[in-house]
Amino acid sequence: MEVPTPVLQPRCILVRNHYSLISAGTEGSTVSTARKGLIGKAKERPQQVRQVVDVVMSQGLTQAYRAVMKKLDAYSPLGYSACGTVHGTGRPSEMASGLHGAGTAGGFKEGDLVACGGLTANHAEFVSVPENLCVKLHPDTDLKQAAYNTLGAIAMQGVRQGDLRLGETCAVIGLGLLGQLTGLMLKASGVRVIGVDIDPRMVEIAGKNCADLALTRDAEGIQDRIADFTVGLGCDAVIITAATDSLDPINFAGAIARKKGTVVVVGAVPTGFDREPHFYKKELQVRMSCSYGPGRYDPLYEEKGIDYPAAYVRWTEKRNMEAFQELIYTRKIDVNYLTTHIFKLEDAPKAYDMMLAKSEPFIGILIEYDASKEITKDRIYLQRSEVRGQGSAGAKRGAEAVSIGFIGAGSYAQSHLLPNIPKSGDVVLKGVMTATGAGSRSVGERFGFEFCTGEEKDILENPEINTVFIATRHDSHADYVLKALRAGKHVFVEKPLCLNETELSQIVESLNRQIGKKESSSEKPHPPITHSTDPPFTHSTSQPINNLTNPLILMVGYNRRFSPFAGMIKETFGSGPMAMTYRVNAGAIPKESWIQDQDFGGGRVIGEVCHFVDFLTLVNGSLPVSVHASALHDPDHLNDTLNVSMTYANGSIGTISYLANGDRSLPKERVEVFAHGCTAVLEDFRRLTIHAGGKSKEKKLFSQDKGQKNEVRLFLDAVAKGKEPPIPHDELFNTSLATFKILESIRTGQAKRLD
């Protein structure tokens, strides 16, 4: 399938693949599940079925259906081990390693040969891979062998966990691709290798290439033969590279290990071993081997490119990859015998058919790319016959159309924003850009966009797009907002608007400047722009290119104020001083989550508490003028369990209790408003009770409504008809400022005024 080139993220390398390796075990399982029907998928993934049931109970059937279809309709790239040529870098690669070993200096540059690993090193002509998951290769490296990069690092980490010495003995249980690589490295390091597998063919291959003693699991007297080979001592270490639901590998490892030996689990096997007689009496150690090595699953290492000092963490996942490539280049190991099949990219489906049908014996399967193929423009125009959704067919073209470009379209956007955009009338879904090409194509087809792209200029500099939705990760919001405003486009950005006061000031200044340009040029509106799909186009962002002459609207996704219950509360209380409390049973999220990261997500105060600040601002009808906040102490300084007290210009007071330490069985949100002898209690946006005159009136909804549909409708209506912004700009800016002051108050212990 043709998809746009992936977005080149900061601290990443854009690589044009020459070869990529199919991992038969991991990918075979994924494809097998994907080809099953709904019932088969449900049986394979019971945990996800439970999650769907939870969504139905908490958010209703519609949201559950959207969540399921988003997963089922999305294209999932396969592969995680490749090599090719550097085509571009996200920034100067300060963290990139050189040719030999321990992370020496030397940046990547265009034209370098590299090997890549990780979930973005897919089977694709172009991949965008973090710097710390790329290693530079010698110009004359055998790229067919270099493509084994990821599995080589996994095998090497397993060997390191075995902590073996020259002349010791190690058994490898499971002689598939990973087991063969493990045996090759062990032999190269002077360790005697015993290979065990249930497949006689793999045992025979191992005996010829990587094992000193190779045995089938059911061989007669296998334990005695291993004992003889080790002169009665047993194996110093046993590395399990098999994948099975059976307990036999772990128990057999205990049987053949020497006293005080080590058992290393690399493959996907259960570890509920029998305590007696071996593991207890021999005092065996069981060690898990985590993927490619230290750095795996650490966003500081993989996403931010922060390396561990080699003196303290000698072998990271990147250094393991480098060591593996050095073994190949110096011919200390030769993995050519493992490559049984090479498929051209266009024939790749045949590889998976062969794997699942087991129609031929195979070990290593490579996909080969035509690196001489001419590079075409990134944008992919989607024909109406390809689009599963109704899209924007039949929509108006010209000055009155709201022509939308989407930047970022993850889970939230696909569940709450895109489904609520009208599919006909005055709205055109023009273009969409997500971080991955497959994601852009999936969203483009599902929702009926005219094109998908990997280039932001195709959205921001497109004269046919006058309205931009931004639903990317929080750290990129301000940058995209500024670029869109400077291009003269209306903007809807998911919360938060930005991550700091400097960004906020820049946005305020840019919006004011662009509104001034609009007003000064309102007497000479831009002529209607005819619809065209002929790329390429160029346009300077120094002048507004919006084909609507209405004043610019900036909108932030504070959806709760647009819920039906918010309107009922406003009607009941009107304006004037009131007391408000907003309790949020937010629940804990891991400290490793990007949301908790101050650089990526800004933390939960900036990223989530802003919702509740905005809602209380709406309810009382005036802006907050001061905040005082205190957070429950935690060693990681997450500030995600806190109380906030706020005062407002009209004399109102509000309290927000945002709690990450509660039980999830309690409903998430509860709002109480007291004024004029009346009380309103809003529970999880499903039930509102008004107490007045000694009586109570209750309103219930069949399913939760947090206002997303109404929010999108009002924004698009304001853009099309030149109405006032659905949320006044000063309220947007004040909400962001309030979250910054909340964090400042937590740090200082003092109340902070909002200027």
Share of the chain above pLDDT 90, in %: 77
Confidence bin at 521 (pLDDT 50/70/90): low
What local confidence, expressed as pLDDT, does residue 66 receive? Answer: 67
Confidence bin at 58 (pLDDT 50/70/90): low
| Residue range 240-286, pLDDT digits in tens | 999 999 999 999 999 999 999 999 999 999 999 999 999 999 999 99
* Domain CATH code at residue 304: 3.90.180.10
Kindly report the pTM of this predicted structure: 0.85
Domain annotation covers residue 509: yes
Q: Which of 505, 523, 556 is the last residue of a domain?
A: 556
The 3-class secondary structure across 521-542, one letter per residue, is CCCCCCCCCCCCCCCCCCCCCC
Whether the pLDDT of residue 536 is over 50: the answer is: no
| Residue range 287-299, pLDDT digits in tens | 999 999 999 999 8
> Which residue has tokens 């509740």?
612
Domain annotation covers residue 586: yes
Domain annotation covers residue 407: yes
- Pair (496, 507) in one structural domain: yes
**SS3 helix, strand, coil % of the chain, rounded to 5?**
35, 20, 45
Determine contact, residues 177/23, Cβ cutoff 8 Å.
yes
* Domain CATH code at residue 203: 3.40.50.720
Domain annotation covers residue 69: no
CA distance 479 to 496: 12
- Pair (588, 534) in one structural domain: no
More confident: 627 or 381: 627
Based on the structure, what is the number of domains in the chain?
4
| Residue range 92-130, pLDDT digits in tens | 443 333 333 333 334 899 999 999 999 999 999 999 999
- Pair (513, 660) in one structural domain: no
CB-count exposure of residue 354 (10 Å: 0-12, 13-18, 19+) = middle
Domain annotation covers residue 533: yes
- Pair (546, 492) in one structural domain: yes
- Pair (248, 271) in one structural domain: yes
Whether the pLDDT of residue 393 is over 70: the answer is: no
- Pair (482, 551) in one structural domain: yes
Q: How high is the mean pLDDT of the chain?
A: 89
| Residue range 397-422, pLDDT digits in tens | 445 689 999 999 999 999 999 999 98
| Residue range 698-736, pLDDT digits in tens | 999 988 999 999 999 999 999 999 999 999 999 999 999
Domain annotation covers residue 65: no
Q: In the predicted model, what is the mean pLDDT of residues 537-552?
A: 48
Amino acid at 96: A
Q: What domain range includes position 347? A: 12-23+79-147+299-368
Confidence bin at 538 (pLDDT 50/70/90): very low
Q: Which of 235, 263, 288 is the last residue of a domain?
A: 288
Determine contact, residues 501/487, Cβ cutoff 8 Å.
no
Confidence bin at 34 (pLDDT 50/70/90): confident
- Pair (109, 182) in one structural domain: no
What local confidence, expressed as pLDDT, does residue 373 receive? Answer: 87
Structure tokens at 564: 């039906």
Whether the pLDDT of residue 613 is over 60: the answer is: yes
What local confidence, expressed as pLDDT, does residue 399 receive? Answer: 52
φ/ψ (deg, to 5) at 630: -140, 140
Q: Which of 330, 345, 368 is the last residue of a domain?
A: 368
- Among residues 147, 105, 199, the alpha carbon closest in space to that of 19 is found at 147
Q: CA distances (Å), 467 to each of 84, 432, 511, in order?
A: 38, 12, 14
CA distance 131 to 108: 9
Whether the pLDDT of residue 754 is over 90: the answer is: yes
